[in-house]
Structure 1
Amino acid sequence: MRKNEPTGVETLPQALIDVPGTPDDCRGRLLERARLEWRCGDGGDPAALAQEFLTGHGVAVADLGRPARHDPDRVCGAALYLSAAAGALLAGGAPAAVTPVPALPDLVVVVYGHTDRHRPATRAAGPGTPATAARRPDPAERWWLGRWRESWTPAQHADAVEAVRAAIGRGDVYQVNLVGHAAAPYAGDPLPALARLGALPGARYGGTLSGLDWAIGCASPETLVEVDGGRLVTRPIKGTRPATAAGRRELLASVKERAEHVMIVDLERNDLARVARTGSVRVDELFAVRRWCDLWQAESTVSAAAADGLGLAELLRAVCPGGSVTGAPKLAALDRIAALEPVGRGASMGAFGWVGSGRIDLGLTIRTAAADADRLHVWAGGGITWGSDPAAEVAEAAAKAAPVRALLAAG
């Protein structure tokens, strides 16, 4: 575990950053003040560590239902990243396959303060910006991305879909989200390519975060959990079709997609109910069709009032890992995921966003890429139900990954 306390601030990179979600008068004058990096092998509870670290640096996250005032003269807030592996650990799920990006931590918390220096705010498209480079490339080295190599073949992916269908037939699970991975060698600086993902249409949580020999680029449209004024909100996404008029009609008419979607909405209602005031959970919007790049996706909005005394750690334990990227029941789905996916989920299917006093906005890291010292990594998948067609599921995962891969190749 790497932990920088205030006494070591001067050793941190002093790069100016601009993080969406921060107060408008703070844009263009934020500096990294401290960071915490943790891996599952370090032991301990990542949710408790995150809350303790943030509280120790002046970010009020011990009682999310209590009004908190942002002080522009003190700490502004923090970027927070939590991996799917850390989320599974919090939920008590089976250990997953080994991550293909061992340099990437499972928890990153970066606390930002203010500087008197100011630059014109260039609004970034996501919840974080690089603090340290993933590597130190030669500035003269041109961007190059090699051939993608999949962690499983289409036939192996289809076999995994059939294995989930068999588990559903036995009554072991109702739905399981399967995720595939691919990696490609690269040369040059990966950060500009990763940062470009935030410009993809619908990338509500587009942005980057980086450290020593690792970086994350996110183009996610999905809200894992948002807290503002004591109100909890999650926006699960389930159901995908091509972004054509026919695709929209097909998505709206699909009994299979609607059943899959409602199942996850019920799971998210139950997750929020664990940390909400009794009787306050409600579905504000059900099966709204929205666009991400060249795809239509179905999204719902579920909200609740935060229970008295709810802290960040308890909230993370309730919502991580996200129901839309695990399945139902969640623990049984995690068992299937651990048994069937050939490599770990790395930077994908976790949480990434902004934590400030009185306000939290964490996206689910779908449509997410990561870089280590010599390879780029991407992940994509989908929810499997009894009505799933293996070939269609393989094609859907490829369609989700295609815009991310194309933009990374452009460099």
Structure 2
Amino acid sequence: MRRFRPDGVGTLPQRPVDVPAAPASCRDRLVERDRLEWRLADGGDPAALAEEFLAGHGLGAADLTRPAAPHRHDVCGAALYVSAAAGARMVAAPAGAANPAPALPDLAIVVYRHTDTPPPPADPPGPWWLGPWRDSWTGREHADAVEAVRAAIGRGDVYQVNVVGHAGADYTGDPRPALARLAGLPGARYGGTLHGDGWAIGCASPETLVEVTAGRVLTRPIKGTRPATAAGRRELLASAKERAEHVMIVDLERNDLARMARTGSVRVDELFAVRRWCDLWQAESTVSAALADGIGLAALLRAVCPGGSVTGAPKLAALDRIAALEPVGRGAGMGALGWVGPGRVDLGLTIRTAAADGQRLHVWAGGGITWDSDPAAEVAEAAAKAAPVRALLAAG
């Protein structure tokens, strides 16, 4: 279950912890205490495994409604990463095509403790070279996938499917400084990194997959994109297509939260708010609920993974379409990455995310397809989402 490789990024000098959603006051004092890595081939239920491992470290994962236990001096909290393929396993859906970065785990949990000795400053980055990006499908193949989804909608098989593409590029040097730069992109609510032996992930996600605090659970789905100009904002607010696509996913998220909520407690706190990520406007809503008694981390993950905004509606039918259409696995994209601490879970959806294995850097981007989708526009939207990530990774 745990794998450690003698080569690759894991053998490079240690750097300060920069896990998305980790407490800011702790980041310069965190030291790894324990680690679990799991891959699909290991078998078993990743949701149950995550709950058991975290509960064993006193993080209260078996019942998220209980008051936070007294703080343990030997444990501050834990980074939690769940791949899209692991999320599909949790709901008995097809995992899809093979991961283009097989060194990546499908579940990673890193438990941290505090230290009174701050880590030494990181060495200056060495030489960095990133080769040309090679997309896993052409624009024509992407557009054909959009048309295939529209045909499935026309047959009544689905209402919406999120279609995702992948690109890879060779590199030399330490990828972690480049991946860490992603946290500085405007709107990166879940900016940060996580790495292990032979792999590293960098995130610039603006989207909350799930947050639990004081017995209340919320999600902030994002659907709807336009250029970050005055005209783009007006167009997004006026678009019937974007609003319909967005409301479908809000309804799906209401249903996901209802599976673990107290009866009658699910509510939409904010609907179709326009917020900025880099040079794009995006529409975001907030859905929340009171957790039912006894809900643990495993039930939470099974309810929200894989994220509705990157799958579609109905979720299981959309996952079937995704597995049939996407030629390359989602790897580190469209999963979850964040922090689990005493009385708190905060996981971002790994959109605007890149990953490195020992040889290549990988990025993923896509968008939601509805009956009104225009294939050329969908291809252009995916490219616009990936562009800031690609450009920052290529910087010297």
Of 250, 253, 260, 1:268 maps to 253
Quick one: distance in 2 between partners of 1:332 and 1:150? 26
Residues 139, 374 of structure 1: CA spacing in aligned structure 2 closer, same or farther, 3 A cutoff?
A: farther
Quote how far apart the aligned CAs of 1:335 are. 0.5
Quote how far apart the aligned CAs of 1:25 are. 5.3
Quick one: distance in 2 between partners of 1:272 and 1:173? 21
Quick one: distance in 1 between partners of 2:125 and 2:204? 28
Instruction: Spell out the pairing of 1:306-345 with structure 2 (5 A cutoff).
Output: 306-345=291-330
Quick one: distance in 1 between partners of 2:56 and 2:314? 36
Does residue 45 of structure 1 match 2:45? Answer: yes
1:349 aligns to what SS in structure 2? coil
Could you say which residue in structure 2 is the equivalent of 1:353? Answer: 338
Does residue 28 of structure 1 match 2:38? Answer: no
Residues 307, 296 of structure 1: CA spacing in aligned structure 2 closer, same or farther, 3 A cutoff?
A: same
Runs (5+) with no aligned partner, structure 2: 5-12
What's the % identity of the aligned pairs? 79
Deviation per CA, 1:215-240: give whole Å up to 9, x if none: 00000000000000111010000000
Does residue 383 of structure 1 match 2:384? Answer: no
One-letter code of the match for 1:163? A
Quick one: distance in 1 between partners of 2:212 and 2:55? 17
Quick check: 2:128–2:172 contact (8 Å CA) kept in 1? yes
Quick one: distance in 2 between partners of 1:24 and 1:178? 34
Could you say which residue in structure 1 is the equivalent of 2:58? Answer: 58
Runs (5+) with no aligned partner, structure 1: 5-12, 123-129, 131-137
1:276 aligns to what SS in structure 2? coil
Quick check: 2:79–2:338 contact (8 Å CA) kept in 1? yes
Of 273, 280, 287, 2:272 maps to 287
Could you say which residue in structure 1 is the equivalent of 2:86? Answer: 86
Does residue 303 of structure 1 match 2:272? Answer: no
Quick check: 1:72–1:114 contact (8 Å CA) kept in 2? no
Residues 23, 74 of structure 1: CA spacing in aligned structure 2 closer, same or farther, 3 A cutoff?
A: farther
Residues 184, 56 of structure 1: CA spacing in aligned structure 2 closer, same or farther, 3 A cutoff?
A: same
One-letter code of the match for 2:357? D
2:28 aligns to what SS in structure 1? coil
Quote how far apart the aligned CAs of 1:15 are. 5.9
Quote how far apart the aligned CAs of 1:21 are. 4.2
Quick check: 1:325–1:383 contact (8 Å CA) kept in 2? yes
Could you say which residue in structure 1 is the equivalent of 2:113? Answer: 113
Worse-superposed segment, 163-172 or 26-35: 26-35
Deviation per CA, 1:130-181: give whole Å up to 9, x if none: 9xxxxxxx99962111111100000000000000000000000000000000
Quote how far apart the aligned CAs of 1:19 are. 4.7
Aligned residues, how many? 390
Does residue 191 of structure 1 match 2:185? Answer: no
Could you say which residue in structure 2 is the equivalent of 1:134? Answer: none
TM-score (normalised: structure 2): 0.94
Quick check: 1:198–1:205 contact (8 Å CA) kept in 2? yes
Deviation per CA, 1:262-281: give whole Å up to 9, x if none: 00000000000001111100
Residues 277, 198 of structure 1: CA spacing in aligned structure 2 closer, same or farther, 3 A cutoff?
A: same
Could you say which residue in structure 2 is the equivalent of 1:205? Answer: 190
Quick one: distance in 2 between partners of 1:402 and 1:105? 26
Residues 54, 376 of structure 1: CA spacing in aligned structure 2 closer, same or farther, 3 A cutoff?
A: same
Quick one: distance in 2 between partners of 1:184 and 1:375? 5
Could you say which residue in structure 2 is the equivalent of 1:104? Answer: 104
Quick check: 1:15–1:32 contact (8 Å CA) kept in 2? no
Quick check: 1:283–1:302 contact (8 Å CA) kept in 2? yes
Quick one: distance in 2 between partners of 1:22 and 1:367? 19
Deviation per CA, 1:245-298: give whole Å up to 9, x if none: 000000000000000000000000000000111110000000000000000000
One-letter code of the match for 1:338? A
Could you say which residue in structure 2 is the equivalent of 1:125? Answer: none
Residues 164, 16 of structure 1: CA spacing in aligned structure 2 closer, same or farther, 3 A cutoff?
A: closer
Quick one: distance in 1 between partners of 2:22 and 2:140? 45
TM-score (normalised: structure 1): 0.91
Runs of 4 or more consecutive aligned structure 1 residues displaced over 6 Å after TM superposition: none
Quote how far apart the aligned CAs of 1:119 are. 6.2
Quick one: distance in 2 between partners of 1:346 and 1:23? 26
